[in-house]
């Protein structure tokens, strides 16, 4: 095997965001762009010689060719072995599991998650460390630093690898193993949940199921788990074949993008349970018949009922949520007397807490839920958790959530996204908000008296690292909150996210429409940030 060293020049924009580096596919396809970033990662890691690297992606356009390049670079940089999902496919949680199971050094996951795919859409790459979790900030900072000074990369003169044939290829000093992407993951799920009980509920017809894989990575996993192992009727998994462009849609599991599923679940003769996942399989959307479960509520319901699931028989040691996620799970933690941590947005901040055994369950408002079985959020795992719960309780989804609200109150919640805002306007909005922060506490807007107004920063309780500027929070005496953040996953301009929540204990008001219930806060949020005024947009691009 001949290694070559190729001269290159830095690109100035290789700073990883909330979850890896995401750019337009054509940016990644520029000569040396992918190579530079991969070499910057390899250069930042220590002692990789002879180690194992897991590689896989969500199957989007450019996945296969990126994987061929990465394999050759891994060989030239001294890795001893690569483990690759067949066809170059691995869901993010499955990749995390494989890293852990094989005691690999780390993994490279090719995905831009819920962003659309194709030659004119998005591509992405992220690195997971040996615990199977996303590289913490100290790594991603190092990757970026290295990318700014890089002047060469190393690549081996290897033939393209046959990604489709299972088994071992390669040589004694560089092993290449193509594995079935689904089987290890499906086996893990069977250890965590009561499959016979769920199967019985599905076979008896008490649970009827529709899962929308959105032409993304979870198709083959969902077919195996729901249809083959749990006996759901063939066709229960829709849009099951991963496509390079996800069929032209956004593989983003929300009511706006998972239209087909939403129509079914809110139509006549809806199944009792519906769910969807995103491009790389780490997000989940949960629906009942005629009922949408907000991700923040889902996290709280799972936390409150965790002991009904085999994996959590002993209860939870602690929970965590990202800062903008609603405070619903805090109420459960308080009731159970367990700690609840508040972290910045992005799964990488949960890793230390999970690893240190401080928490067993965590989640984000952006349709992400997960636990300590892998160190990524896990879409199908969350769906199985709900199925297990439904099988134990024998109640409809809406009843379970209403019961929860009766006990804990409802945190009425919504997120408004303004996409593709010009960067200078977005910065202006934040400067304007920052100027107001010192004067807000004590002011009253309608029935909302401001308790605190600040910019969130987080000190990791395990390694003491500090992450600043993680979003602006305005909290009110009555428990309501408005949070403003700029997205770190977009590829065009800036995306402003406004998170709104209001706490409601009056059960007669629990069925209110969230947009109506939050109307006052929505108006106040605009008054304070002026996004509509400054951009000329008259409505959010997406409301979830």
Q: Does 282 help bind Co ion (rule: CB under 5 A)?
A: yes
CB of 483 to ligand VG1, least distance (A): 11
Stretch that binds ligand VG1, among 191-199, 239-247, 354-362, 481-489 (CB under 6 A): 481-489
Of 113 and 414, which has the nearer Cβ to Co ion?
Answer: 113
Alpha-carbon separation of residue 155 from 10, 73, 104 (angstroms): 17, 4, 21
Check residue 501 for interaction with ligand VG1 (CB under 6 A).
no
Minimum separation from the CB atom of position 458 to ligand VG1 (A)? 14
Q: Which of Co ion, ligand VG1, none does 488 bind, CB closer than 5 to 8 A by kind?
A: ligand VG1
Distance CA(20)–CA(4), nearest Å, equals 27
The Cα 457–Cα 468 span in angstroms is: 4
Q: How many residues bind ligand VG1 (CB under 6 A)?
A: 18
Which backbone phi and psi does 378 adopt, to 5 degrees?
Answer: -145, 105
Please tell me whether residue 140 binds ligand VG1 under the rule CB under 6 A. no
CA distance 517 to 168: 58
372 interacts with, out of Co ion, ligand VG1, none, CB within 5 to 8 A per kind: none
Handedness of CA 180, 186, 191, 196 (dihedral sign): negative
Selecting among 113, 147, 322, 487, the annotated active-site residue is 113
- Per CB under 6 A, does 117 bind ligand VG1? no
Q: What torsion do the CA atoms of 374, 375, 376, 377 make, to the nearest 10 degrees?
A: 70
Binders of ligand VG1 among residues 418 to 477 (CB under 6 A) are none
Does 218 sit near ligand VG1 (CB under 6 A)?
no
Number of CB atoms found within 10 A of residue 132's CB: 26
- Least CB distance from residue 113 to Co ion, whole Å? 3
Nearest to ligand VG1 of 410, 415 (CB atom)? 415
SS (H, E, C) 442-486: CCEECCEEEEEEEECCEECCCCCCEECCCCEEEEECCCCEEEEEE
Nearer to Co ion, 218 or 296 (CB): 218
Which one of 43, 122, 280, 417 is in contact with Co ion (CB under 5 A)?
A: 280
DSSP 20: B
- Residue 345 interacts with ligand VG1 (CB under 6 A): yes or no: yes
Q: Pick one of Co ion, ligand VG1, none as the site partner of residue 14 (Cβ within 5 to 8 A by kind).
A: none
CA dist 431 and 535 (Å) reads 15
Residues in the chain: 544
- Which of the choices Co ion, ligand VG1, none does residue 253 contact, using the CB cut-off of 5 to 8 A by kind? none
At 499, which helix (H) or strand (E)?
Answer: strand 494-504
298 is catalytic: no
Alpha helices in 32-147 (DSSP H): 33-44, 63-76, 92-101, 137-147
Phi, psi for 54 (deg, rounded to 5) = -95, 135
Q: Which of 128, 278, 364, 378 binds Co ion (CB under 5 A)?
A: 278
- Using the rule CB under 6 A, is 489 a contact of ligand VG1? yes
List the single partner that 44 binds among Co ion, ligand VG1, none, CB under 5 to 8 Å by kind.
Answer: none
Binding mask of the shown chain, residues 314 to 343, with x at each position contacting ligand VG1 by CB under 6 A: --------x---------------------
Question: 3-state SS of the chain: helix, strand, coil percent to 5?
Answer: 35, 25, 40
Catalytic residue positions, numbered: 113
Summarize as ranges the residues that interact with ligand VG1 (CB under 6 A).
18-19, 113-114, 278, 282-283, 322, 345-347, 364, 366, 368, 487-489, 497
Summarize as ranges the residues that interact with Co ion (CB under 5 A).
113, 278, 280, 282-283
């Amino acid at each position: 095997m001949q290694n070559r060293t190729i001269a290159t020049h830095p690109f100035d924009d290789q700073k990883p965001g909330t979850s890896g580096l995401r750019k337009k596919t054509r940016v990644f396809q520029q000569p040396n762009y992918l190579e530079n970033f991969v070499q910057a990662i390899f250069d930042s890691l220590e002692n990789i010689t002879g180690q194992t690297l897991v590689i896989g992606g969500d199957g989007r356009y450019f996945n296969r060719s990126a994987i061929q390049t990465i394999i050759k670079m891994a060989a030239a940089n001294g890795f001893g072995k690569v483990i690759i999902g067949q066809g170059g496919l691995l869901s993010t949680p499955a990749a995390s599991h494989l890293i852990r199971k094989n005691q690999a050094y780390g993994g490279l996951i090719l995905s831009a998650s819920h962003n659309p795919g194709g030659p004119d859409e998005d591509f992405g790459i992220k690195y997971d460390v040996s615990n199977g979790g996303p590289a913490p900030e100290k790594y991603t900072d190092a990757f970026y630093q290295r990318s700014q000074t890089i002047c060469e990369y190393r690549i081996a003169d290897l033939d393209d690898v046959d990604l489709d044939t299972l088994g071992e290829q390669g040589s004694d000093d560089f092993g290449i193993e193509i594995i079935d992407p689904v089987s290890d993951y499906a086996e893990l799920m069977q250890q965590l949940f009561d499959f016979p009980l769920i199967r019985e509920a599905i076979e008896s017809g008490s649970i009827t199921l529709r899962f929308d894989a959105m032409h993304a990575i979870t198709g083959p996993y969902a077919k195996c788990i729901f249809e083959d192992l749990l006996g759901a009727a063939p066709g229960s998994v829709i849009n099951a074949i991963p496509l390079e462009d996800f069929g032209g849609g956004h593989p983003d599991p929300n009511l706006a993008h998972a239209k087909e599923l939403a129509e079914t679940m809110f139509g006549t003769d809806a199944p009792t349970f519906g769910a969807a996942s995103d491009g790389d399989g780490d997000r989940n959307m949960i629906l009942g018949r005629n009922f949408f479960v907000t991700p923040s509520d889902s996290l709280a319901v799972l936390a409150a009922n965790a002991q009904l699931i085999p994996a959590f028989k002993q209860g939870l040691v602690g929970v965590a949520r990202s800062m903008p996620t609603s405070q619903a799970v805090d109420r459960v933690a308080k009731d159970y007397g367990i700690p609840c941590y508040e972290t910045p947005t992005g799964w990488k901040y949960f890793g230390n807490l999970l690893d240190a055994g401080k928490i067993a369950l965590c989640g984000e408002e952006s349709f992400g839920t997960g636990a300590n079985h892998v160190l990524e959020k896990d879409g199908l795992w969350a769906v199985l958790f709900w199925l297990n719960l439904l099988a134990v309780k024998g109640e409809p989804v809406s009843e379970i959530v209403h019961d929860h609200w009766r006990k804990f109150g409802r945190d009425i919640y919504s997120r408004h996204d303004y996409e593709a805002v010009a960067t200078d306007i977005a910065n202006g909005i934040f400067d304007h908000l920052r100027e107001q922060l010192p004067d807000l506490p004590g002011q009253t807007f309608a029935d909302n008296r401001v308790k605190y107004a600040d910019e969130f920063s987080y000190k990791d309780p395990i390694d003491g690292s500090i992450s600043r500027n993680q979003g602006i929070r305005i909290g009110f005496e009555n428990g309501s909150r408005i949070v403003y953040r700029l997205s770190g996953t977009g590829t065009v301009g800036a995306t402003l996210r406004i998170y709104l929540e209001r706490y409601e204990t009056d059960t007669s008001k629990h069925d209110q429409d969230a947009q109506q219930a939050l109307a006052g806060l929505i108006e106040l949020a605009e008054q304070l940030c002026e996004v509509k005024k400054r951009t000329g947009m008259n409505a959010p691009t997406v409301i979830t």
